[in-house]
Amino acid sequence: MRGITKRFPGIVANDNINLVVKKGEIHALLGENGAGKSTLMNILFGLYQPDEGEILINGKPVHITSPNVANELGIGMVHQHFMLVETFTVTENIVLGNEPKNGLQIDIRRAVKEVEELSRKYGLKVDPTAKIADISVGMQQRVEILKTLYRGADILIFDEPTAVLTPQEIQELIEIMHNLVKEGKTIILITHKLKEIMAVCDAVTIIRRGKVIDSVAVKDTNPDELAAKMVGREVTFKVDKKPPQPKEVILSVENVTAMGNRGVNALNGISFEVRAGEILGIAGVDGNGQSELIEVLTGLRKASGGRILLKGQDITNRLPREISEAGLSHIPEDRHKRGLVLDFTMSENMVLETYFHPRFNKNGFLDYAAIDKHASRLIEEFDVRTPSIHTKARALSGGNQQKAIIAREVDKDPDLLIAAQPTRGLDVGAIEFIHKRLVEQRDKGKAVLLISLELDEVINVSDRIAVIYEGQIVGIVDAKSTTEQELGLMMSGGKRMQGGGSDE
């Protein structure tokens, strides 16, 4: 790819980018969230058209005007958010768009056979007749890979493929990648995780703010150098903090059970405690009850059994507002869905949970002057970059939106702060800011519950780590003394290995 430039309204996502990938190598594309990696790959895959620049494959210039063209050129993409139709079977998803036909109708038997053959050849175990909705995330990813192979892809783009996997599943994926290269495929790996690059890649291209910073062979570099190039300054990724001084129990969860969206129990008698002055991290693979746990704690989902105590007061199945007023703040995992009303002004968003308090609410009429004053103070204090307090939340960057939410939640002066995936999709600067605030809360003697899918984050920020698996805490360890291997094993249910076959 030569001189690729892509502009979106108000931003240059790719600025004169050059990327050279050799046949048969695993090439990493490294950059922070928002650096322009995905945009570049979407151009290569034909989903976007570049404003400038050209793409050459085997020395020949090509115009990739649609994913169809990309497929024909042998480019396949394993998307971060799987492009799978939930209600279809594995086979249907794989052949979609290139269905083998028998007369007018789909030759489903032949399709199943072809899928089985491919699956054997590359060691990608799948159940061809299972519905996507019923199989594990790991298998869904293998279906995504098979989709590209079915279409005869020679160049495979993996977009942040490890985000949803356990350490063990990541190991398996790395093996799969090596297999693919052995079969003559070329792989581009998009990631912001340095360890993965060191483990599997041959070469790495680093981009920052839409520009290529450097392109080096992995054997000639080290993680610290890569990190510095990615962020633009020396970073340690270590969180500065004093030893914790845990005091009395603030939150106590006793044997709580709750239904998930699929009608089966998502929480199976979960129990743990969080003390004042400590950060308890919850580690686990996505879909093991984290979301449901947060919802039950905050009153957004009914618990079917057990008890939740906040400062000794029973808050089980109370209304979200009662729980919030009892001293619990919550940084939601999906800030666009839960955290903000995007079409409200920043000012209105800052009182989303407190507008009814007497200081803003006079006999049913809102005192907008007081609300604006409150918002101005918070925005100043937490350094939220917004043109005005009357700007709609939608117009702010993700980092600033998250800062605003944290400002609002911390300002409620809660006894317990629940932070769910607080740094998802943010750049390193914003991540550091948020981690600092969480530690600050702890040092003020508050209890903090951190729930994150990023294992590094849980290890770095927490004082104690509880591992959740299938709706239960399978173990609690000290953050300083544990290892990734130990956590990984617990995350996949201890002795029970996940990954192969379906979960059920």
87-95, 203-211, 233-241, 456-464 -> range binding another protein (CB under 8 A):
87-95
Nearer to another protein among residue 160 and residue 348 (C-beta): 348
The answer to the question of residue 337 lying near another protein (CB under 8 A) is yes
Retrieve residue 282's tokens.
Answer: 């919850």
Which of 77, 137, 350, 473 lies at the binding interface for another protein (CB under 8 A)? 77
CB of 103 to another protein, least distance (A): 10
Retrieve residue 315's tokens.
Answer: 């808050």
The CA angle 247-252-257, to the nearest 5 degrees, is 160
Distance CA 30, CA 33 (A): 10
Distance CA 229, CA 30 (A): 9
Q: What is the DSSP letter of 19?
A: -
Which of 15, 25, 99, 411 lies at the binding interface for another protein (CB under 8 A)? 99
The answer to the question of residue 366 lying near another protein (CB under 8 A) is yes
Distance CA 207, CA 29 (A): 7
The answer to the question of residue 12 lying near another protein (CB under 8 A) is no
Q: Which of residues 181-210 bind another protein (CB under 8 A)?
A: none
Which of 18, 98, 129, 388 lies at the binding interface for another protein (CB under 8 A)? 98
The answer to the question of residue 496 lying near another protein (CB under 8 A) is no
The answer to the question of residue 228 lying near another protein (CB under 8 A) is no
Nearer to another protein among residue 25 and residue 107 (C-beta): 107
Distance CA 323, CA 285 (A): 27
Which of 313, 319, 440, 443 lies at the binding interface for another protein (CB under 8 A)? 319
Backbone torsions φ then ψ of 483, nearest 5 degrees: -125, 165
Q: Which of residues 249-308 bind another protein (CB under 8 A)?
A: 298, 300
The answer to the question of residue 361 lying near another protein (CB under 8 A) is yes
Distance CA 114, CA 223 (A): 41
Which of 29, 40, 75, 79 lies at the binding interface for another protein (CB under 8 A)? 79
SS3 label, residue 81: coil
41-49, 218-226, 246-254, 309-317 -> range binding another protein (CB under 8 A):
41-49
The answer to the question of residue 61 lying near another protein (CB under 8 A) is no
Residue 337 CB neighbours (<10 A): 9
The answer to the question of residue 86 lying near another protein (CB under 8 A) is yes
Strands (E), 284-387: 305-310, 313-314, 328-331, 361-362, 365-366
Nearer to another protein among residue 55 and residue 340 (C-beta): 340
Nearer to another protein among residue 361 and residue 376 (C-beta): 361
**x/- site string to another protein, residues 145 to 174, per CB under 8 A?**
--x---x-----------------------
Q: Which of 11, 72, 75, 9 is nearest to 41 (CA)?
A: 75
CB of 307 to another protein, least distance (A): 21
List the alpha helices (DSSP H) in 299-411: 320-325, 346-350, 368-381, 398-411
The answer to the question of residue 343 lying near another protein (CB under 8 A) is yes
Close Cβ partners of 225 (under 8 Å, ≥ 6 residues apart): none
Nearer to another protein among residue 154 and residue 278 (C-beta): 154
Q: Which residues of 467-494 are buried (b: 16+ CB within 10 A; e: fewer)?
A: bbbbbbbbbbbebeebeeeebbbbbbbe
Q: Which residues bind another protein (CB under 8 A)?
A: 8, 45, 47-48, 66-68, 71, 77, 79, 83-88, 92-93, 96-99, 101, 104-106, 147, 151, 298, 300, 319-322, 324, 330, 332, 337-344, 348, 352-353, 355-356, 361, 364-366
